[in-house]
Amino acid sequence: MKRFLPLFILAIALSSCQDDVKFSNPGFQALKDDVLWQATDARAYVSTDGKLTIEAMTSYETLTLSTASANEGTYLLGTPNTDNGASYFSNFNEQELEYGTIAAPGPISNINLLTGGTGYVSGDNVGTTGGSGTGLILSIVANASGVVTGITLTSRGAGYIAGDVITVVGGNNNCKFRVINVQTSSGEIVIEEFDNLSMTVTGTFKFNAAKSNGATFGGPYLNFQHGVFHKIRIYPSI
């Protein structure tokens, strides 16, 4: 019996290693609201105009990732560019639930400085005007010429929508920036490899999505983090 014990322990160790490899090299998986979510099937399509769509499914769920191009790179979600997006659909016991990176109002996540304006000085607790929401407070950095060169979101406010153009109070009131996306509808898809030989695509994703149908159940928002799609097969265009 003793001579078989080391072999038994080795067999368990090898089995554990195989499980680890399988877990760390998934086809499609993520943390959905902090719980592991794994697709049972995943496939990708490239349209005639070059847009990429990845569909990942379980028995009653479909997660769809879309990018404006199949080129390697980072694609921001929840912006006015609706070619880049993520959506989730479930139908369990005939109860449908939908979420998407749509133009939902929320606290600001990312911005893009449009014009630095004139007459500004660096400071904290700087107010704003314009846009769909309220409560946005900034810290700004201005150069010696009074042009704003940096903006930090001190308080992200509420009720803003991607695409809002906002004015920074102070100076000559002519520093403006655009809201790229908001925290309730944002994220990114990163295409790390598009393999033309094997016709597969690999990358990562993360996003927040707002409920997009009138379901009375389910939370108002859905979160996917640490998403990975690995060598997903590309099928003929749909």
Other Cβ atoms less than 10 A from the Cβ of 113: the count is 15
Give the DSSP H or E segment for 11: helix 5-24
Q: What is the dihedral of CA 20, 23, 27, 29, to 10 degrees?
A: -160
- CA nearest to 50, candidates 67, 73, 74, 72: 67
Rounded alpha-carbon distances, angstroms, from residue 122 to 31, 117, 228: 40, 13, 41
pLDDT at position 192:
98
Q: What is the pTM of this model?
A: 0.83
pLDDT at position 190:
98
Instruction: List the chain domain ranges.
Output: 27-103+185-235, 108-181
Residues (pLDDT < 70) of the chain are 1-26, 238
Which amino acid type is present at position 216? T
pLDDT at position 235:
92
pLDDT at position 15:
43
pLDDT at position 26:
56
Give the DSSP H or E segment for 23: helix 5-24
